[in-house]
Structure 1
Amino acid sequence: MSAADRAMQTPATSTAAGTARFPLDLPDEFLHCFPLGGRWVRADSGRRVTLTSPSTEEPTLDLPLADESDVDRAVASARSAFDHGPWPRMPATERAAYLARFTEEVRRRLPMLTALWTAQVGAPVSFAQGLIGAGESRLDFFAKLAGTYSFADRRPTRRGHARVLREPVGVAALIAPWNATFGIFAHKVGAALAAGCAVVLKSPVESPLEALVMAECAIAAGLPPGVVNVVTADAEQSARLVAHPGVDKISFTGSLAVGTRIAEVAARRMARTTLELGGKSAAILLDDADPATVMPALVPLAMPFSGQICFAQTRVLAPRHRMAEVEEACVAAVETLTVGDPWDPATDVGPVLNARQYARVLAYTDTGRREGARLLTGGGRRPGFGRGHYIDPTVFTDVTADMTIAREEIFGPVITLQAYDDVDDAVRIANDTDYGLSGSVYGADADTAFEVALRVRAGHLAVNGFEMSPNVPFGGRKLSGIGREGGPEGLESFLETKSVFMPTP
């Protein structure tokens, strides 16, 4: 019986001895094995990782953690599948049919994947329900693109013609963070498989279960052995995977610090990389924007999942002469948010991930006060919660560009309000950051807002709202990363181009 079938039959009880109940009944393979070479293989290491509930601070589940031999087996399996298996050699339309079956298997497990997001990292279930389908839509997009994309074309030359071929890059190591593991893996897995790559998914230790579910789906869909492999690894073993000579491409989403180290290691052997790193995105309110209308729509984008999302629109820039209105509207919108148990459908803001994340965010709020920002609301532990990593949604104003809270990614439920003098000043402030991932512009006239958006140096912007779509690329500029995920551009990041010159017959 699959994990999806088990989860749909009972809400249940897979637990390690002495831990709190885990909310899903998981197959024994998930608790002891890694999916390698198309089958479940018992982990070599004997090492384990314990999951802890962000809302209760109690341990919930105990799972295997990879050592060097597990990583090496995963790479060897993918290497064999790519070098000797049918996957990169079959017609793209045939791969597309496999990917359609894979996507359908994932679709059957969406309720389970929603529950896993909440159980492992505390994402409010209403938020998870709204976004988990985005991962499925990404897989569906790449399944269809695989059948229509032009992997070859002919171009006339002086001597005859050239055949320009777009071939899979090889074995790809796909590394996702804990905050949105399934959705991020879907971007990477869909594109890599559509290209014809074999993959090793490196699960984060905080949320290791989504990749296991995806591997179960690959097996159920009949993908050739070794095309999809999974290990859960800590920093040391992740570094081994990145440096492994059997890996041709690394696709990483995570922190700037780790991304920088990956780029350095990959450069030494010219391994291909896509790096989606941090963000410090600005939302610009133009002078004709109505704060009472904009802020209720913008606040959920500024602190989605307690602000633990890279695209969070955390820096709100507004005309100086309208700051009092913006402050009032922002605080009013924040104070309508329901903070509580992530399993409650009414909850808007749940706990942050763990004690380390909790301490990190509160350190930033302390720094904001010390550097002169004015606290409008929040700034500490949410009252009324005796346990769990709950932080009161926080708003600072009188923030200037030199302050730490305006420059560094906080990754918590914190909004900063910054005043500008005119549109040129707003653009200057928006661009006065080391990051360039996302942003938004709000105004009464969408065309005027678009002209402002053109001046913001970021890879992903929106006018009067926010949207992500599987057919549109996502990624950053400056320290926010290199490369794009999503759209045909995401597929192309897993391809190499070969030119073959041919004589006239």
Structure 2
Amino acid sequence: MDSFPGDLELKEGLPQLIVIAIVGLCSVYIFARLFTDPEAAVGYAIPEPEQLHPDWTGKVLDEPSLKVSGSSAIQCYAPATGQLLGLVNPSTPDGIDRAIQRAQEAQRVWATTQFSQRRKVLQTLLKFVLENQEPIARAACLDSGKTRVDASFGEILVTVEKLKWTIKHGSRALEPEKRPTNLLMMYKRNEVRWEPLGVVAACVSWNYPFHNLLGPIISAIFAGNGIIVKGSEQTAWSSQYFTSITRGALSACGHDENLIQSVICWPSVAPHLTSHPAISHLTFIGSQETAHKVAASAAKSLTECCLELGGKDAAILLDDINDIDRVVATIIRGTFQSAGQNCIGIERVICLPKIYDKIIPLLQPIIESLRPGSALHSNSCSPIVDVGASISSAGFSKVENLIAEAVTQGARLLVGGKQFQHPDYPKGHYFSPTLIVDVHPDMKIASTELFAPVCLLMRASSISDAIAIANGTDYGLGSSVFGSNPADLERVTRELKAGMVAVNDFAAYYAVQLPFGGVKGSGYGRFAGEEGLRSLSAQKSIIRDRWPALIKTAIPGPLQLPLANEQRAWDMCRGIVEFGYGETLSRQIGGIRKLIGI
């Protein structure tokens, strides 16, 4: 019987209906992914401190100081101008205890969250940072004295990189990992898990008040922990604002903001935190001198530490550099970033003979032209600022004395070398951008961390000499080498005693989340990257039966206690060892014979 015309039309239109259905389903899927992504960022707002308003003018202190006569409060001020930012009440031991308790309670719930939930919080935080770069940079500049460009590079860029990396790769670092087995245990499956530690702590330095505070928070909460962050009293004002940003992201996503706690205290109270038995891990960013005290304090509770200390980072310049202008620009940026207050800043430029004579006349006019000042008071009608303020003038006399001593020993001071009295900001803390050359390894300035805007040049007679000079201090944090010959670059990279090396670049390892940390007197432990996340986790080793219904570990009769025959037990043990680990087939066969008793 012939088909009716209507049936024919239906059959011919069927492929079109299928295509329409597929397109419709794909559209629904794409819409769901774009507009209903469960990990999508949530918008939120944080009140900005009044000091961030462009028209704010604070009282200029006659004697800028953290301490106030007759008060225990921390007096916060802008080091670039001496303007009062406000007073912060320091935490007490009881206050620290309460903060830890709140974090513990929040962490018990947070530890049960999925990675997707944690990514959502970080996505939310990332969105906020990207949308609020101006106030964040302004707060960092006000409290630490750096320029806006320095804040963008050293505060914002590296923070959003850490957020993006953790969002994209963090769960892979913390997912259970299979491990190989051996012949004797071939019926077992091995696994390592990384689980939350509980509540961790971070004592961070003042030179990067935004990034140094957020970095430990990002890693800690993604690993399932609560965290107590002790910011420096030098940047107590901005620490409160920056902490509220991270807590706001938690709250916006429906989580307890008490997971993150901020404490600011005087040094005399800090040991209560660093020795606290409820702290499972401690990250410290600061000086060698303080690190000794922190490590001793943490040892009282056997708390694991990651210590990121100072450095005397060297940039080695080989004679075959073929892009000298690029290298000079990199040296300038690496030396004067944040007015030299950079743990991985370039503290020594070690040059081979040919490049040494070329680079001095290139560096000198640039350094002479650098303009110190307050970034937040520069606009289209006022001078551009190249170098910001120092956090304090307390270390200026030490740097001046080291420079003067080096000059008496044969070094040449070509630019700067002393405190700078800014005509517009007489209460600000400024050190003149400095160039000192002909420095020898036996001069004290060659091995002392300056943390100041000082470009220091040393001459090396050969590659071997350059490496020896670079390795000749107690420090071993970062380093860099510039040149063209791959073999020479690899040799220097291999022989440098440092935790990190950048080849033909400066500190690029920090912008890609490689593990960060040093050797020798620059500390131990690593943060950033997979190693950093795993260091904030409790490692748990698990072994289980591969085929539980077929085979399980059983103690052979001759080895069961009490022993029936000690010699037979011994022979069986030897047989197990030789069968499982014999280096030749004959030894393994001998092991089998001992096992079965023949």
TM range (shorter): 0.7 to 0.9
> In the alignment, residue 113 of structure 1 is paired with which amino acid?
I
Deviation at 1:47, TM superposition (A): 4.3
Is 1:403 aligned to residue 403 of structure 2?
Answer: no
Partner of 2:406 in structure 1?
368
User: Residue 63 of structure 1 aligns with which residue?
Assistant: 88
| 2:312 counterpart (257, 261, 280) | 280
Of 330-339 and 406-415, the range deviating more from structure 2: 330-339
Q: Is the 8 A contact 2:115 2:222 kept in 1?
A: yes
Contact kept, 8 Å, 2:318 with 2:482, in 1: the verdict is: yes
- The answer for the alignment partner of 1:106 in structure 2 is 129
Residue of structure 1 in register with 2:513 after alignment: 471
In structure 2, relative to structure 1, the CA distance for the partners of 1:292 and 1:111 (3 Å cut) is closer
Out of 259, 267, 271, the residue aligned to residue 291 of structure 2 is 259
Change (3 A) 1:9 1:128: closer
Q: Deviations over 1:427-465 (max 9, x none)?
A: 111111111111111113456323322211111111222
Percent identity, aligned pairs only, is 27
Match of 2:152 in 1: 129
> What's the C-alpha RMSD, in Å, of the aligned pairs?
2.5
Distance verdict in 2 for CA 1:86–1:447, change over 3 Å: farther
Structure 1's 311 and 497: CA in aligned 2 closer, same or farther, altered over 3 A? same
TM-score calculated relative to the size of structure 2:
0.74
Matched letter for residue 142 of structure 1: T
Choose 249-258 or 395-404, whichever is displaced more: 395-404
Per the TM alignment, residue 5 of structure 1 is displaced from its structure 2 partner at its CA by 6.0
Moved more, 69-78 or 318-327: 318-327
Shift in CA distance, 247/382, structure 1 to aligned 2, threshold 3 Å: same
Which of the two has greater strand per residue? 1
Kept in 1, the 8 Å contact 2:515–2:526? The answer is yes
Q: In structure 1, what residue type is equivalent to 2:495? A: R
Amino acid at match of 1:3: I
Deviation per residue, 1:248-284 (Å, 9 max, x gap): 1001111111112212222333211111100101111
Unaligned runs of 5+ in 1: 21-45
Residue 329 (structure 1) aligned with residue 362 (structure 2): yes
Task: Return the alpha-carbon distance in structure 2 between the equivalents of residues 297 and 153 of structure 1.
Answer: 40
Between the aligned partners of 1:362 and 1:58, the Cα distance in structure 2 is 26
- How far is 1:4 from its partner? 5.0
Query: Contact between 1:171 and 1:248, CA under 8 Å: does it hold in 2?
Result: yes
Structure 2 residue identity aligned to 1:136: V
Q: Per the alignment, in what secondary structure is the counterpart of residue 435 of structure 1?
A: coil
- Deviations along 1:388-446, one digit per CA (max 9) or x if unpaired, are 22211111112111211110111001121111111111111111111111111111345
Which of 313, 318, 321 pairs up with 2:351? 318
Structure 1: distance between partners of 2:458 and 2:233: 36
1:298-317 superposed matches below 5 A:
298-317=331-350
Q: 1:192 corresponds to which residue? A: 220
Q: Secondary structure at the match of 2:268?
A: helix
Mean CA deviation greater in 246-255 or 470-479: 470-479
Deviation at 1:368?
2.9
SS in 2 for 1:164: strand
Q: In structure 1, how many angstroms separate the alpha carbons of the residues matched to 2:289 and 2:49? A: 39
1:417 is aligned, of 457, 460, 472, to 457
Letter in 1 for 2:161: S
CA distance in structure 2 between the partners assigned to 1:381 and 1:6 by the alignment: 31
Distance 1:3 1:120 in 2: 18
> 1:324: how far off?
3.0
Q: Which structure is richer in relative contact order (CA contacts within 8 A, separation 6 or more)?
A: 1
Q: What code does the residue aligned with 1:115 have?
A: R
Most deviating of 217-226 and 369-378: 217-226
Give unpaired runs (5+ residues) of structure 2.
1-43, 62-70, 549-598
User: Does 1:240 find its partner at 2:278?
Assistant: no
Aligned equivalent of 2:583: none
**Contact map agreement 2:174 2:534 (CA 8 A) in 1:** no
Question: CA–CA distance in 2 between the matches of 1:205 and 1:421?
Answer: 45
| Structure 2 CA distance for aligned equivalents of residues 200 and 383 of structure 1 | 39
Which residue does 1:88 correspond to in 2?
111
What is residue 229 of structure 2 aligned with on the other side?
A: 201
Normalising by structure 1, we get a TM-score of 0.87
Which shifted more, 425-434 or 53-62?
53-62
Q: Say which SS state the counterpart of residue 229 (structure 1) adopts.
A: strand
- What SS does the aligned partner of 1:273 have? strand
**Which region of structure 1 is more displaced relative to structure 2, 296-305 or 277-286?**
296-305
1:149-191 Cα deviation digits (max 9, x unpaired):
3421344544532332111222111111100021122321111
Rounded Cα–Cα distance in structure 2 between residues aligned with 1:336 and 1:463: 28
Match of 2:40 in 1: none
8 Å CA contact 1:473–1:486 kept in 2: the answer is yes
2:539 corresponds in structure 1 to 497
Residue 31 (structure 1) aligns with:
none
8 Å CA contact 1:136, 1:186 repeated in 2: no
Q: 1:434 aligns with which of 471, 474, 479?
A: 474
Q: 1:79 is matched by which residue type in structure 2?
A: Q
Distance verdict in 2 for CA 1:12–1:70, change over 3 Å: farther
* Equivalent residue runs for 1:161-172 within 5 Å: 161-172=189-200
Aligned equivalents of 2:48 and 2:215: distance in 1? 25
Structure of larger gyration radius: 2
- After superposition, the C-alpha distances for 1:292-331 in whole angstroms (9 at most, x for unaligned) are 5422321220121110000111101112354332222221
Report how many residues are paired.
476
1:228 aligned residue: 260
Residue 46 of structure 2 corresponds to 3
Residue type at the aligned position of 2:145: G
Q: Aligned-pair distance for 1:122?
A: 0.6
Distance 2:328 2:191 in 1: 53
Q: Find 1:116's aligned residue among 122, 131, 139.
A: 139
Amino acid in structure 1 at the alignment position of 2:515: P
Equivalents in 2 of 1:331, 1:182: separation in Å? 32
Query: Residue deviations 1:351-379, cap 9 Å, x none?
Result: 21122133343333333334442211111
Q: Which residue does 1:34 correspond to in 2?
A: none
Partner of 2:165: 141
